[in-house]
Amino acid sequence: MDAKVWMYLAYLTVSIGLTVWVARALSRNGLVFLEDVFADKRLADAVNSLLVVGFYLLNLGYVTVAMKEADPVGDTSQALEQLSMKVGLVLLVLGALHFFNVFALGRYRRGRLRQQAAAHPPLAPVGYLPPQGGSRPVNPAGPTPAGPTPGQTPTAPPR
């Protein structure tokens, strides 16, 4: 076998090994993040599996398409240079896919948290504001616990 065939075999071995290793690491360690993003364990497991399948399809598809080398490989040093270029591109694609996924899931999580915060007011109301302009009526008995009675002007709680 010539140097080009050995380069192809080394490229496939390294690229597939890296893809499997990265996919397993991201799947195992990313599950906690996905559970926080979706707030549902079953949904996080399902999305995690779908992300792993998509990761394999995209990355192995890229590895396969990028395998062909048009230039002749004369010696071992040229084969190693071309191999390092191909493996480096695979690593850049792996990193880009990872950061895209983290970015997209982070945006989804922020949107979900924003919706949850909007559904609940940050503080419960504590009393009524006094009417603007004019004097405040004095209630000798103090404020009533249930709020003002009909016909009574609301007063601010004591400070």
What integer pLDDT is reported at residue 150 of this predicted model? Answer: 59
Q: Which amino acid is present at 81?
A: E
What integer pLDDT is reported at residue 36 of this predicted model? Answer: 83
- Name the token pair of 81: 């240079």
What integer pLDDT is reported at residue 117 of this predicted model? Answer: 74
What integer pLDDT is reported at residue 46 of this predicted model? Answer: 92
Q: How far is CA 21 from the centre of its chain?
A: 20
The CB density around residue 131, as the number of other CB atoms within 10 Å, is 12
What integer pLDDT is reported at residue 45 of this predicted model? Answer: 92
Low-confidence ranges of the chain (pLDDT < 70): 120-125, 134-159
What integer pLDDT is reported at residue 63 of this predicted model? Answer: 87
